[in-house]
C-alpha cells in the first residue's frame, strides 16, 4: 500500500513538473511573439510600409501568419503610391498653419447670425425654413435647386482640407445597386465599382439603401461620395478606407456598426488589386492620404475608430459630423514611432460629440490640430488627448463635463510630466460647463500674437452645430 501511494505521489509530482515546464514555455512564447509584433510595428514606423504588408494595430494569430502575409503581398505599385503620397503630403503641408486657423475663425466671426432670439429659436427643435448657421453650410445650403448643382459643395471646404476637390471635375455616377458580391470585378452600379474608377467621379445614390460591405471599400483619388437626396447607410460590414490617394470628399452618409474585415484579394483601382490583411473596423480610415474632407456624416458604433487618420495623412477637415455611441472616436496619428506625422494638419470644426462617447475627440500625435466650435456634450474618460508634442488649438468649443468628479478634465497627455510642459495646447474662447477643466501648456503668447480675429465663443456652438450629421435633403426643396 505504501509503495502504491509513493508511486502515485511520484506521478503527481511528475505531472506538476511537466505542467510547470509547459506554462513556462507558453509564457516565453507569448513574450517572444509580443516582441516580434513590436519589432514589426517599429519596422513599419521607420519604413512607412503599406497595409498590404503590415499595419501597426492589426491583431494576428501568430507572427508566422504576419510573415506569410508579407511574403505574399510585396507590391511595387503600392510602394510607388506610398512614395508619391509622401510627396503629396509634403506639398500639402502649410508652413503657416495659424494663417489657416485665422481664416476659418474670421469667417465664423463675420457670418454667424447674432442675437439672443436666434440662439433661443435654434436651441429648440427647428421647424422653420432652411437656415445655414456656419460658414461651410452657408456656402451651399438652403438653395432649392441644390440638386442641379451638387458640385458647388466642392467649393465649400474650409480649414486644412479646403483644397479637397473630390470629383468636382468628373461626371456623375449613380449608385443603383447596394450589393457587394465581387471584390475583384465589382458589378457596375455598385458603390465599390464607382470608387475604384481611375477618373474623377461625383458619386450619388438613386434611392435609399443600406450597403453591407463584404470587405473594406478602397476609395480611389478624386472621388466625392455624396449621400444627399437619399438615406444611405454603410453598416454591418467593413467600411471605408482612403489609402495613398488624394482629393476625397465623404458627405451625407450614415456610417455605423462597422466590423473588421478578413482581408483577401481586393481591387482598389481599375488597374490594380492586391491581398489585403485584416481591416481594423474603422468607420473611415485615412491612411497616407491628402486633401480629404469628411462632412455632414452621422457615425456611431464601429469596432475600432469612427475616423482614423494615420501614416502621414494631412490637409484634412472633419466638419459638421455627429458622433455618438462609441469609445475611441477620432485618432489623428497612429503611432509614437512614426515622426513623419509631423506633417499632419487637421481641422475639426462644427461637429457634435454626442451621447455614449468615451475618449479621443480627437487623440493627436506630432502634428497641428485646430479644434474649433465643436459641441462636446458627452465624454467618459477625456475629450482631447495627445502624445509626441502635438500642437492643439482649441477655440470656441463648448465642453460639458460628465457628472463623475474624476473625469472633469478635458485633456489627457500621454507621456512623462516633464515632457508635456512645453507642448502647445491652447484654449481660447471655450465654454466650460459642469466643472469642465482644460489644462493649457506651452507658449500661449505664440497664439496671442498671431490670432487677430477671435473665434466665436463657445456660447454660440449650439447654433453652429445645430444641423450636424447627415441632412435629410429632398430634391426640389432647400437642403
User: How many helices (H) and strands (E) are present in the chain, helices listed first?
Assistant: 10, 31
Residue 238's nearest CA partner among 191, 203, 289, 283 is 283
Check: CB of residue 280 under 8 Å from CB of residue 235.
no
Measured distance CA(341)–CA(377) in Å, rounded: 29
Measured distance CA(263)–CA(373) in Å, rounded: 38
Measured distance CA(328)–CA(359) in Å, rounded: 5
Neighbours of 434 (CB within 10 A): 10
Hey, is 426 helix, strand or coil?
strand
Query: Is 360 assigned a catalytic role?
Result: yes
What kind and span of H or E run contains 428? strand 425-428
Strands (E), 229-329: 232-235, 240-243, 246-251, 254-256, 264-269, 272-276, 284-287, 290-295, 298-300, 307-310, 314-319, 322-324, 326-328
Q: Which residue has cell 505542467?
A: 19
277 φψ region: left (φ > 0), alpha (ψ -120 to 50), beta (else): beta
Cell digits of residue 217: 471599400
Q: Measure the CA dihedral 38/262/206/138, to 10°.
A: -10
Q: Which residues on adjacent β-strands are paired with residue 365?
A: 387
311 φψ region: left (φ > 0), alpha (ψ -120 to 50), beta (else): left
Q: Which listed residue (55, 228, 360, 365) is catalytic?
A: 360
Q: Reading across the β-sheet that carries 201-205, which strands appear in turn?
A: 171-175, 201-205, 223-226, 246-251, 290-295, 314-319, 345-349, 368-372, 391-395, 425-428
Measured distance CA(323)–CA(310) in Å, rounded: 19
Cell digits of residue 392: 492643439
Measured distance CA(384)–CA(413) in Å, rounded: 9
Catalytic amino acids? Answer: 360
Amino acid at each position: 500500500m505504501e509503495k502504491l501511494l509513493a508511486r502515485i505521489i511520484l506521478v503527481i509530482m511528475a505531472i506538476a513538473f511537466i505542467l510547470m515546464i509547459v506554462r513556462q514555455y507558453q509564457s516565453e512564447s507569448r513574450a517572444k511573439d509580443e516582441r516580434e509584433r513590436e519589432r514589426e510595428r517599429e519596422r513599419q514606423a521607420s519604413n512607412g510600409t503599406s497595409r498590404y504588408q503590415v499595419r501597426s494595430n492589426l491583431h494576428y494569430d501568430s507572427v508566422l501568419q504576419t510573415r506569410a502575409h508579407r511574403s505574399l503581398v510585396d507590391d511595387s505599385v503600392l510602394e510607388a503610391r506610398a512614395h508619391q503620397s509622401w510627396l503629396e503630403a509634403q506639398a500639402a503641408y502649410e508652413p503657416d498653419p495659424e494663417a489657416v486657423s485665422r481664416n476659418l475663425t474670421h469667417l465664423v466671426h463675420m457670418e454667424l447670425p447674432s442675437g439672443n432670439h436666434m440662439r433661443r429659436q435654434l436651441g429648440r427643435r427647428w421647424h422653420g425654413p432652411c437656415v445655414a448657421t456656419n460658414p461651410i453650410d452657408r456656402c451651399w445650403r438652403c438653395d432649392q435647386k441644390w440638386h442641379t448643382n451638387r458640385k458647388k459643395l466642392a467649393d465649400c471646404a474650409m480649414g486644412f482640407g479646403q483644397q479637397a476637390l473630390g470629383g468636382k471635375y468628373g461626371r456623375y455616377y449613380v449608385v443603383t445597386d447596394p450589393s457587394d458580391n465581387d471584390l475583384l470585378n465589382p458589378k457596375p452600379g455598385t458603390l465599390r465599382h464607382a470608387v475604384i474608377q481611375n477618373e474623377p467621379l461625383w458619386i450619388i445614390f438613386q434611392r435609399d439603401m443600406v450597403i453591407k460591405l463584404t470587405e473594406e471599400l478602397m476609395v480611389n483619388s478624386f472621388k466625392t461620395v455624396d449621400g444627399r437626396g437619399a438615406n444611405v447607410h454603410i453598416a454591418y460590414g467593413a467600411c471605408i478606407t482612403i489609402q495613398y490617394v488624394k482629393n476625397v470628399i465623404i458627405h451625407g452618409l450614415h456610417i455605423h456598426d462597422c466590423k473588421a474585415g478578413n482581408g483577401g484579394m481586393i481591387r482598389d483601382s481599375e488597374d490594380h488589386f492586391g491581398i489585403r490583411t485584416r481591416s481594423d473596423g474603422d468607420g473611415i480610415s485615412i491612411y497616407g492620404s491628402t486633401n480629404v474632407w469628411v462632412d455632414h456624416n452621422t457615425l456611431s458604433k464601429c469596432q475600432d475608430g469612427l475616423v482614423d487618420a494615420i501614416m502621414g495623412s494631412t490637409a484634412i477637415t472633419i466638419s459638421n459630423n455627429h458622433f455618438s455611441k462609441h469609445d475611441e472616436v477620432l485618432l489623428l496619428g497612429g503611432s509614437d514611432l512614426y515622426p513623419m506625422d509631423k506633417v499632419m494638419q487637421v481641422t475639426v470644426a462644427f461637429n457634435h460629440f454626442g451621447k455614449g462617447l468615451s475618449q479621443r475627440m480627437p487623440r493627436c500625435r506630432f502634428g497641428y490640430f485646430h479644434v474649433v466650435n465643436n459641441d462636446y456634450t458627452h465624454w467618459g474618460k477625456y475629450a482631447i488627448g495627445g502624445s509626441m508634442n502635438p500642437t492643439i488649438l482649441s477655440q470656441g468649443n463648448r465642453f460639458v463635463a460628465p457628472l463623475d468628479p474624476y473625469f472633469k478634465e478635458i485633456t489627457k497627455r500621454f507621456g512623462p510630466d516633464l515632457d508635456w510642459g512645453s507642448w502647445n495646447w491652447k484654449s481660447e474662447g471655450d465654454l466650460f460647463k459642469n466643472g469642465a477643466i482644460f489644462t493649457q501648456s506651452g507658449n500661449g503668447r505664440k497664439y496671442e500674437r498671431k490670432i487677430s480675429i477671435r473665434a466665436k465663443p463657445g456660447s454660440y456652438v449650439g447654433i453652429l452645430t445645430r444641423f450636424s450629421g447627415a441632412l435629410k435633403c429632398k430634391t426640389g426643396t432647400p437642403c
